[in-house]
Structure 1
């Protein structure tokens, strides 16, 4: 029965990984909705800053979005976020902006 113990351990690891991914997705959504939404509107359709809906960001490639997020936009209220983002967060934010609420 050692194979059963291995199977159970593998299942537990997979479930733990899925739970961690779901938590990370919720964290990214919370970050975008609260931090970005404070300027870009709670529905991300614009406010002090422009709309950042999937349709609005579609005209930018990922590299441009990354530059805007990391370095901000001079002479506008858009601040640089480079010092505040952890590993993988930039990519997750861009993916969220591309997919919107359906993510």
Structure 2
């Protein structure tokens, strides 16, 4: 497993904190305002699209289409958005997004891609 690797333990702590925070955010269920939703979709298309492809069908990063995300844990997806993936090109977005906003983006991505908005 991770052995004595500090990066592994750091990632486990981040994932645990994100899972607990994600559960609280899901319980709160706050929905961003319509104006913020538009900003989030723009961020998804432009910033996420720079690595995941402009149509989110994959690029440097994996596809973010509903069929590619099907079966994945929504809380883990939100944690990846918020905290990134250490050792990869996936950066953390927690400086720009709240936990509720990350959870909202994940729900939208699982329901329909950005083209269907």
TM-score, structure 1 length as denominator? Answer: 0.70
Q: Contact 1:28–1:96 at 8 Å: present in 2 too?
A: no
Q: Is the 8 A contact 1:29 1:96 kept in 2?
A: no
Root-mean-square deviation (Å): 1.8
Structure 1 residue 59 displacement after superposition: 2.5
Q: Which structure carries more relative contact order (alpha carbon 8 Å, separation 6+)?
A: 2
Once residues 102 and 80 of structure 2 are traced to their aligned partners in structure 1, the CA distance between those partners, rounded to angstroms, is 11
Which structure has the bigger radius of gyration? 1
Which of residues 66, 85, 108 is equivalent to 1:73?
A: 85
1:31-88 residue CA offsets vs partner (Å, 9 max, x unmatched): 1001100100000001111111111111211111011111111211001111221463
- Which structure shows the higher helix fraction? 1
| TM-score normalised by L of structure 2 | 0.63
State which of 75, 82, 97 in structure 1 corresponds to 2:109.
Answer: 97
1:29 to 1:58, Cα distance in 2 relative to 1, 3 A: same
Aligned pair count? 84
8 Å CA contact 1:52–1:97 kept in 2: the answer is yes
